[in-house]
Structure 1
């Protein structure tokens, strides 16, 4: 009887978290699944089955949105991993100004995404932006960063990397600093240099931090919306449209059920890509 009472007492501590999880995640998810199969407004709804999904998947710009979303996620996550790792290694060394440099690199993470988007939209203006003015002073003709369909998506992706690399760097620093010094000392006795430290110790033993950065940045790239919408609104044309921006355009047009179906499709896409990637990265980590 005492054991049963103890178990019940323990579950009481889990109840607040369970309620929060149900109210803010599970219930909205269930409601989204239901309303994705309806024509709905704030006051009325009509069940139509899978018609919203068929309509959304037949959207002319969806193929471009899928491609752009994957490109955006791969580019932003890849650059955050590479730059975050290099900066993490550099800022794990014994520099006199390491605290200041860490603060400067992490600072963009604290800024509002909307504010960053507005600022870089002005800086990337083809004639009046500071970036092209500086390039012009160097004798280089700067491109129309956000107006050229060939480079607009990459331009926004680079801004995303600038804003998010600070978090990746902090995660890498934590992973690198947790590596025991014994490994470095053993490699030094064997004649290892800085490159050997990086290749044989830092990369393998910081794998958990690397996996975390890959998963978080990749999921963030797949779900990205605010920076794209602030800087280009999916243009020029459909060249920077992501799945999230297509969903928002449907919502703006008053197709609430259609946009809800798009959110469900995005949720399925993120899950279908993120879970296998997470499983693969974990297996690679175990093999080490």
Structure 2
């Protein structure tokens, strides 16, 4: 009799434990269901096209059929006579644009967080180029930099300086496009720095002032090191953008004169124009691998410095 009663008491206890376990599993799985829409979008927009790109890079394809050719496309793309120039230009372009955006963005960020009149208006002015279409910027500066009728050379002539064909000269074409890229993108870098500088507690600046430090000491010992997270973000975003840059270069120089301002992205586009779709897809895959091979170690290195800071 005692045993039967004990069994009756045990069964409801086990049922309650099972219900509790089911509720615990449901609660632990519930947050992951919120990720499901983003996971579907990521799968459809990124993973599936990436997998298809890797496959079609191994084929010679058109809109209607494809023929598997293995690694021939990669071999042919790597044998492209202008690839060495394009790779060097890509690295130079990324380094110049990201470096200038960091320096100018930091200086403008410090200026626009100071006690400056009209700083709200000036922040809007600095950020405005970011909102303009890249193609529109390229067309506009192509007109401004024309050797005879461009406003830049006309302004230089007023002070007795002979202008040059900025986009038609092999020594200045890539640098000219890079400077236009900096003009367009420095606004975003400035906004990131403004956010980083404004997040620094004012007590640190007050401590430097109590110790007799001036503006330079506040910048060197407080602003510069504590705005490292902003510097980290600007370097990563602008460097990756520089490695992938295409639209501004194509709009302003078409990779010219000759092939002197070609980047990897513009070489890939020229292959598309020529109808070599498999070859250009292989170039896109190689560009993806190059950006990954550079960005991942850079992100790891800068992330370690951010933690140390």
Q: TM-score, normalised by structure 2?
A: 0.92
Indicate which of 81, 90, 113 corresponds to 1:92: 113
Match of 1:259 in 2: 280
- Structure 2 SS opposite 1:49: coil
Q: What displacement does 1:106 show?
A: 0.3
Q: What number of residue pairs does the alignment pair up?
A: 288
CA deviation profile, 1:110-145 (whole Å, cap 9, x unmatched): 000000000000000000000001111111101110
Match of 1:213 in 2: 234
Indicate which of 113, 130, 135 corresponds to 1:114: 135
- Runs (4+) of structure 1 exceeding 4 A deviation are none
Indicate which of 165, 169, 173 corresponds to 2:190: 169
Match of 1:22 in 2: 43
RMSD, aligned α-carbons: 0.7
Q: What displacement does 1:3 show?
A: 1.6
Match of 1:5 in 2: 26
- Structure 2 SS opposite 1:39: strand
- Structure 1 SS opposite 2:35: helix
Alignment gaps of 5+ in structure 1: none
Taking the aligned partners of 2:161 and 2:49, their CA distance within structure 1 comes to: 51
Taking the aligned partners of 1:167 and 1:94, their CA distance within structure 2 comes to: 21
Taking the aligned partners of 1:173 and 1:12, their CA distance within structure 2 comes to: 36
CA deviation profile, 1:164-221 (whole Å, cap 9, x unmatched): 0000000000000000001001111111110011110011000000000000000000
Q: What displacement does 1:33 show?
A: 0.4
Q: What displacement does 1:95 show?
A: 1.5
CA deviation profile, 1:58-87 (whole Å, cap 9, x unmatched): 000000000000000000000000000000
- Structure 1 SS opposite 2:141: helix
Q: Does 1:231 align with 2:257?
A: no
